[in-house]
Amino acid sequence: MAANVITVDRVSKQFKINSNKSLKEMVVNRGQTKAHATEFWALRDVSFEVQAGTTLGLIGHNGSGKSTLLKLIGGILTPTSGTIRRRGRLAALLELGAGFHGDLTGRENVYLNAAILGLTRQQTDRYFDDIVAFSGIEKFIDTQVKFYSSGMYVRLAFSVAIHVDPEILLIDEVLAVGDEAFQRKCLDKIKTFQREGRTIVFVTHGLDQVRELCDRVILLDHGDVVIDGDPIAAVRTIRDTWQDEAVTEAAARDIPAAELGNGEMSIGAVRTLDASGAETSRLSPNEPCTFEFEVSSTGRTTDWVSGIAIENHLDQLCYGVNSGLMGRQLEPIQGDRTVRFHVPALALGEGHYHLTVAVHSLEGIEYARKNRVANFKVYSDREQVGPVFLEPTLEIR
């Protein structure tokens, strides 16, 4: 059984929030600062252990305590109560540019940052060329880092962190700042670390990354541990919570789905139907379903096309089709019609999706459109990653 490299024992963290909004108020209210301060508990009685070689994801809403917990593990903050024990060399990417000095060059900051992480000058000399090559900012290595973009900061900081030979790597959301090619490069390095048996703890809002990379997930909510365990269950819980909150907020504001277009036609009710024809907001991969909506034309419209689009929770288009692309010429319409798109086997992976429906002319003149008018969830018991659901067979020769 692998040994524990991180032990968090009944840890709580309290912050004092001062209601004085300016230096002038602090001077005027001197001696009354405590009276104007309120207590905020970022974490309450959190306990867990992390075994060597584990990749642990910390997820939750903004303000749930994830970054605070990561800083406590990294020793940047001290707990108000409880204890944290670590074993092994630790490297941390907790904030953009943390450990960098703006007036120093990239070269000087590499040596400074490596020294903070425990490397000697001689060790840094050996790693220096690899650090710069991985970061990809060779041309700017002798430029003061205050002139760096946020992406250049991340490139250099991540490159230093992974080259100090850490046994424990802590990563906050900073990887989201880099460009797509560099993010892939970082993920490849993280997977290499996993194969080498290193311990990784990271905070992210990228739930697909959590499902792909993590052995274990801790879901935090207002400083409390809600789930500690299976990544799929944790991701499903937080997505359900986000979706339910969005629906509740929209209902509270009483915002109907806005109908766009020139008004020549209109769109009525929109429904998602399961295999039995019952209206639902929950579907399963590889099962039949139907997307149905009502359309109406007060006059006679001889030239019309109906279509649907499905987007995921990040507003990325997952699928779109219309009657024209399907080679169907629709009969002239006057009055009400029901449009149904039957899907014999839904090929979407687990997640939240939004349905957009529209009618337009063959030339693309939009008669009516309702964006994100219906929400539905796809649940899967299969451990697959990504928005597409496939059922491949495996053959090895």
DSSP secondary structure, 320-366, as one string = EEETTTTTPPPPPEEEEEEEEEEESS--B-SEEEEEEEEEE-TT--E
pLDDT more than 90, % of the chain: 46
Secondary structure class of 316 (helix, strand, coil): coil
The rounded distance, in Å, linking the Cα atoms of 128 and 114 is: 10
Instruction: Kindly state the average pLDDT of the residues 111-117.
Output: 83
User: What's the mean pLDDT in 123-151?
Assistant: 90
CB hemisphere CA count around 121 (13 angstroms): 1
pLDDT at 30: 62
pLDDT tier, 153 (very low <50, low <70, confident <90, very high otherwise): confident
Q: What is the DSSP letter of 331?
A: P
pLDDT by residue (tens digit) across 272-295? 999 999 999 999 999 999 999 999
Per-residue confidence (pLDDT) for residue 253, from 0 to 100: 46
Average pLDDT over all residues of the chain? 85
Using an 8 Å Cβ cutoff, are 367 and 264 in contact? Answer: yes
Check residue 359 and give its pLDDT.
96
pLDDT at 211: 80
Burial class of residue 128, CB neighbours in 10 A (0-12, 13-18, 19+): middle
Q: What average pLDDT does the segment 220-229 reach?
A: 91
pLDDT score, position 330? 94
Confidence of residue 231 (pLDDT cuts 50, 70, 90): confident
pLDDT tens profile 162-220: 888 889 999 887 666 667 777 788 888 888 999 999 999 988 887 777 888 899 999 99
What are the structural domain ranges in the chain? 4-244, 259-378
Region label for 372, one of left (φ > 0), alpha (ψ between -120 and 50) or beta (otherwise): left
CA–CA–CA angle 154, 159, 160 (5° rounding) = 105
In CATH terms, 259-378 corresponds, of 2.70.50.60, 1.10.1740.10, 1.20.120.790, 3.30.1330.80, to 2.70.50.60
> In the CATH scheme, what architecture does the domain 4-244 have?
3-Layer(aba) Sandwich (3.40)
* Mean pLDDT, residues 54-67 taken together: 90
Segment 235-239 shows an average pLDDT of 80
Which positions ≥6 away from 34 have C-beta within 8 Å? none
d(CA 264, CA 360): 9
Rg of the chain (C-alpha set): 27
Residue 396 scores a pLDDT above 50? yes
Model pLDDT for residues 319-344, shown as the tens digit of each residue: 999 999 999 999 999 999 999 999 99
- In this prediction, residues 297-308 reach a mean pLDDT of 94
pTM (2 d.p.): 0.70
d(Cα 81, Cα 355) in Å, to the nearest integer?
48
Take residue 117 and report the two structure tokens written for it. 């992480």
- Measured at the CA of 231, the angle between CA 52 and CA 224, to 5 degrees, comes to 85
Most confident of 30-39, 154-163, 239-248: 154-163
Please state which of the ranges 65-74, 148-157, 301-310 shows the lowest mean pLDDT.
148-157
